[in-house]
Structure 1
């Protein structure tokens, strides 16, 4: 993430990819989303999914991890070039979270983030709000995951 003033609407960033494995999907589900179709292939086969599927929350957590790693890579590149990296604050929230297709073991999702809007913070002049549309697309080119996020980003002119 760059300073607020340097961020351009329409910029796309590839966050990374993740190949889903059954053991990881089940381990996450045991801890956080213990529904039968996330825990057991036979139980999943008896549902409309027809087999084991990843928890949507697992997909969202992976997207968040890849986003944080991509931001750290960008900040490291800025520091290596002798440029300052901005402070990035918390997210005041997200909206329009969508799990558009079931994600199965063996699927690979590629995650991308697009800057869709930005505005100066009305109450904190040293910060701006940056809005992104984050997506996860499977190996067949099908959109499987989507969320609109917001994060505070440091302003140079704050």
Structure 2
């Protein structure tokens, strides 16, 4: 993970794709979001969705899985940087902003996830950290955006922030 100072606004990354199956949509729904249109095919057919759809939280969970994998690969260990410093720690997140589920995710849909750095915020209260905000999107195989949200993460700084005041 890069240091706060090294992260550039406009940097973007494709996080990968994921295909949602009928069985796992129902399993996730039963465990975490037991609404009829997530867990019961017959009841779901009678809703305005016309069939089973994935929970929005399921689409978020897959984004998180792919985001972490894109940052760490298969390991959480990172090598020291060019100055010999231990790599910065990322997180936790102070929260997600403006989440929107724009289209339903149906069994067989493949969602491709993307992230772009859109803002960096200096923190007077925690000068050793900064907040990085990313616009995150998920797009289905038809090019339709199914989810958007603004993610935030606390990222360590190389040097503490000093206010201009």
- Shorter-chain TM range is over 0.9
What is the root-mean-square deviation of aligned Cα atoms in Å?
2.1
SS where residue 61 of structure 1 aligns? helix
Give me the whole-angstrom Cα distance separating, in 2, the residues matched to 1:5 and 1:62.
28
Q: Which runs of 5+ in 2 are unaligned?
A: 161-165
Q: Which runs of 5+ in 1 are unaligned?
A: none
Q: For the Cα contact (< 8 Å) 1:75–1:85, is it kept in 2?
A: no
Give me the whole-angstrom Cα distance separating, in 2, the residues matched to 1:34 and 1:11.
37
Give me the whole-angstrom Cα distance separating, in 1, the residues matched to 2:58 and 2:76.
27
SS where residue 96 of structure 2 aligns? strand
Q: For the Cα contact (< 8 Å) 2:80–2:87, is it kept in 1?
A: no
How far does residue 73 in structure 1 lie from its aligned partner after superposition? 2.8
SS where residue 96 of structure 1 aligns? strand
TM-score (normalised: structure 2): 0.89
Q: For the Cα contact (< 8 Å) 2:81–2:87, is it kept in 1?
A: no
Q: Give the 4+ runs in structure 1 shifted more than 6 A.
A: 74-78, 80-83
Other-structure match for 1:132: 134
TM-score (normalised: structure 1): 0.92
Aligned residue pairs, count: 158
Other-structure match for 1:94: 96
Q: Which has the larger radius of gyration?
A: 2
Q: For the Cα contact (< 8 Å) 1:19–1:109, is it kept in 2?
A: yes
How far does residue 61 in structure 1 lie from its aligned partner after superposition? 1.0
Alignment of 1:1-158 (within 5 A): 1-73=1-73, 79=79, 84-158=86-160
Q: Cα gap change, 1:153/1:99 in structure 2, threshold over 3 Å: closer, same or farther?
A: same
Give me the whole-angstrom Cα distance separating, in 1, the residues matched to 2:149 and 2:37.
23
- Select the structure that is richer in helix: 1
